[in-house]
Structure 1
Amino acid sequence: MKMIKRMNWLILLLFTIVSCSKDSPGVDETEGETGEEIDNTSLSLVDSKATETTKALYANLWVVQQNGTMFGHHDDLIYGRNWYAENGRSDIKDIVGDYPAVFSVDVAEIMDDRSDASDLNDDRIRTIKEARSRGEVIIANMHLNNPLTGGDSWDNSSNIVAKEILTEGSVTQVKYLGWLDKLADFANNLKDNNGELIPIIFRPFHEHTQTWSWWGRSATTQTEFLQLWKFTVDYLKDSKQVHNFIYAISPQLDQAGSKESFLFRWPGDDYVDFIGMDSYHGTNTSAFSTNLRNLALLSEEKKMPCGVTETGVEGIRYTDGIPIMDYWTNEIGIPLSGKEISMVVLWRNKYDPTQNSHHYFAPFEGEATAENFFDLYSMTHILFSKNLPNMYMMPSGIKIK
């Protein structure tokens, strides 16, 4: 069986070598051209006042997905399985000598009542700037505390949180707006080495299809969720003049769904820039492949880039504890081959040097699947930091409204 799987992967590798080069993911870095199919493509952003660098990133997200999928990892530069807040460190780099193309962070502790006490906020800012200096892409979610009950983001005990946020002058609204003010201050002061604002793909209220959060489907009505989304976006871009956000929605689909599954509580095309998918499908490869195809189809229809914004198997092991030795090639690399998906982001590796838990979703030095991960790195359609074109320079053939 292992020999058959190895041969299948080798066939895929030969196919992808013919279709593109690992050193160049199909993008001409001097002119940014990738062929006729993306010439004269017109895209639009939620924020008509988005910075030029933000527009350039958005255009390149569209271009990149025509040629490959960027690999990403949550909190990868902040801590790893056996290290904490070390400059330049990355579990992924430890294995393959290259950084992820996408750096995922959580901005909730910058926003809510934890902001003054968080010991990682300085490191969040430092690592975002480091990722940008290498030309990598930054995406941010928010596990925001419950502004009504004082609980965490998983506190879905009240079904009036969104209603209270939307009630003019309410205590909950005042608190929530204060949290957005801190996010805006963070975004409006987040600058690269040239003094330009750093663009961020911002995905608020992620996994809204699920019931676990105070903004999820069991704690809000459809109308409340849509109003909450629009209220948040409008406040940031209009009231607080945040113009370096690309707004991403990210429903969670673990089982095979339809193209319409991604439109659950859709805020409208004028309020979404990027179509994400959180997918904790385990080794249900068929479901993952089906959802990838539908995601790519919807992306093309709406002319919005798309990506897998969270995925992975905790511990990269089966339920009996045996490592999934071919996980990276068979469950990530092969399903993404031929799909126009801009990114695939693995969830975090919890800092746990005593190895008391298996809360990690990417390999690290000494982890059982690290060798297979190097095979994923060798796949030409999976892009890491060194494979990226200039993501912050406008490519030719793309217009942003």
Structure 2
Amino acid sequence: MTSIYRKIKWAVCLISVLPIVSCTAAGDETEKEHEQPSSGSVTLSVSDSQATAETKALYANLWEVQQKGFMFGHHDDLFYGRYWYNKSGNSDTKDVCGDYPAVFSCDFAEIMDDRYETAKEANDIRKRCILEARRRGEVITACCHLNNPLTGGDSWDNSSHMVVAEILTDGSATQLKFKSWLDRLVTFALSLKDDNGRFIPIIFRPFHEHTQTWSWWGKSCTTEAEFISLWRFTVDYLQHAGVHHFIYAVSPQMDSRKTMDDFLFRWPGDDYVDFIGMDCYHGLNPEVFSHNLKTLSDLSANKHKPCGVTETGVESFTDKNYWTKQILTPAAGRKVSMIVMWRNKFVNGNEADKHYYSVYGGHPSASDFVKFYNSELTLFSKDLNDMYSLPSHITVN
């Protein structure tokens, strides 16, 4: 962002933000204690030895951002909103604060699995949204609710404990199918280029929420060795196929107070994880959120890898002070690069459908969201520096 814009934003929010950022949980470190000077050299490492220059730059900037504040993100924000679908330029976030999220989150599953043929229109929309987000300089992250390649069920089909074992069995029908899904992802990824013809970096988080039981890759269906092997198999396959613009993010489910060991559950290895995420559906419990944010930021410092909240929110929330009370206050003094809300489903006239996790025009929290937007700690699209140019003081190996 320009220094002029930041000064304007700071002037608007000075009175309202100061009491908020001082309200950290008792015994926690203050924001000042967390600050690090931006000067001085920093060296980071990514898993892909052939990562593109833009990918390395984004990685460095993720680290840089979290020393100062966090980016606001929203899943599928550019794809649809509560009252609209597939309208270029639309955004529930923008409707409220006049700006787009800094992070656009999407799902790659329909690009890959057996829904590919019937989801061509949706996949074209996803690509359009990614290109638009990149054109504005925003950050793109993608999860993957893949169908079950063994049973034919959805990603929540945990009826078989043999899915991952079959994927890892050389020459098996399930492995061949899974490889074909990865091949589709390779084709899509290699088609993602910016206006200068350069590949668009993606923060990719496969097999998210692996700490829970409901997915076919979750802890009830796999052993530790199987999950780690699946993760490494996937990363190696994509890199060997020429995809060198992915930043690989792990994202355990952390809904209650968690320890650092909980975050490291079935850790795929430092050489296979670039970004430490957290899916945190903790309800209206800011103390839990604050605790887990501290654990996450401590692990980030320990591993020297950027981190962020890759999913959060409360379904059908109505708290008019939600943003300053439930998100901003717990995040004060924490060093995370992003906080990404889950989606606002397009209701298509069905007001009884309350599947939304973020603000939209007319929501009771809209005025509080503007305060949240004006905070010095939050970064939206207009606030971003060039996320795809390497800061001069950071080296990425």
Work out whether the TM-score is over 0.5: yes
Pair 1:341-2:339 in alignment: no
Counterpart for residue 289 of structure 2: 288
Give TM-score scaled by structure 1 length.
Answer: 0.90
Residues of 1 paired with 2:363 and 2:288: CA distance?
27
8 Å Cα contact 1:17/1:380 also seen in 2 = no
Question: In 2, distance between residues paired with 1:378 and 1:56?
Answer: 27
For 1:127, give the aligned amino acid.
C
Cα separation, partners in 2 of 1:17 and 1:101, compared to 1, 3 Å:
same
User: What are the residue-to-residue correspondences of 1:260-275 with 2, within 5 Å?
Assistant: 260-275=261-276
In the other structure, the counterpart of 2:353 is 357
In the alignment, what sits opposite 2:28? Answer: none
* Inter-CA distance 35–267: structure 2 relative to 1 (3 Å threshold): closer
**C-alpha deviation, 1:174, in angstroms:** 0.2
Q: What CA distance in whole angstroms lies between the structure 1 residues aligned with 2:261 and 2:142?
A: 25
Contact 1:138 1:201 survives alignment (8 Å): yes
The one-letter code matched in structure 2 to 1:272 is V
CA distance in structure 1 between the partners assigned to 2:183 and 2:348 by the alignment: 36
Q: Which residue of 1 aligns with 2:147?
A: 145
Following the alignment from structure 1 to structure 2, what is the Cα–Cα distance between the partners of residues 35 and 166? Answer: 43
**Structure 1 segment 133-282 matched on structure 2, within 5 A:** 133-238=135-240, 240-282=241-283
Alpha-carbon shift at residue 12 of structure 1 (Å)? 6.3
Between the aligned partners of 1:11 and 1:259, the Cα distance in structure 2 is 35
Structure 1 match to 2:390: 394
Q: Is the 8 A contact 2:309 2:336 kept in 1?
A: yes
Deviation at 1:251, TM superposition (A): 0.2
What's the Cα RMSD here? 1.6
Query: TM-score when scaled to structure 2?
Result: 0.91
**Residue 14 (1) aligns with residue 18 (2):** yes
Mapped to 2, the partners of 1:38 and 1:154 lie a distance apart of 46
- One-letter code aligned to 1:343: M
Measured in 1, the distance between the counterparts of 2:348 and 2:356 equals 12
Count of matched residue positions in the alignment of Structure 1 and Structure 2: 371
Partners of 1:162 and 1:14 lie apart in 2 by 50
Q: Secondary structure at the match of 1:269?
A: coil
What is the rounded CA distance, in whole Å, between the counterparts of 1:362 and 1:132 in structure 2? 22
Conserved 8 A contact 1:71-1:384: yes
Quote the Cα distance in structure 2 between the aligned partners of 1:219 and 1:36.
45
Matches within 5 A, 1:43-62: 43-62=44-63
SS in 1 for 2:72: strand
Number of the residue aligned with 1:126: 128
Q: Which moved more, 1:254-263 or 1:340-349?
A: 254-263
| Alpha carbons of structure 1 residues 101 and 160: separation in structure 2 relative to 1, 3 Å | same
The 3 A distance-change label for structure 1 pair 209 and 11 is farther
Question: What do the CA deviations read for 1:257-308 (whole angstroms, capped 9, x no partner)?
Answer: 1122110000110000000000000011111111100110110111100000
SS in 1 for 2:290: helix
Conserved in 2, the CA contact under 8 Å of 1:77 and 1:103? yes
User: Sequence identity, in percent?
Assistant: 58
Judge conservation of contact 2:20–2:328 (CA < 8 Å) in 1: no
CA distance in 1, matches of 2:231, 2:380: 32
- 8 A contact 1:38–1:63 mirrored in 2: no
Shift of 1:39: 2.1
The answer (yes or no) to whether the contact 2:249–2:275 under 8 Å persists in 1 is yes
Cα displacement string for residues 66-100 of structure 1 (whole angstroms, at most 9, x for unaligned residues): 01100000000000000000010000001110000
Q: C-alpha separation between the residues in 2 aligned to 1:253 and 1:171? A: 34
Tell me which residue corresponds to 2:321.
326
Structure 2: segments with no counterpart, 5+ residues: 1-12, 23-34
Q: Determine helix, strand or coil for the equivalent of 1:224.
A: helix
Structure 1 residue 37: Cα displacement? 5.0
1:2-41 equivalences under 5 Å are: 13-14=17-18, 36=37, 39-41=40-42
In the aligned structure 2, how far is the partner of 1:15 from the partner of 1:247?
36
Give 1:269's aligned amino acid.
D
Using a 3 Å threshold, how does the CA distance of structure 1 residues 40 and 93 change in structure 2: closer, same or farther? same
Q: Runs of 5+ in structure 1 lacking a partner?
A: 1-8, 19-33, 317-322
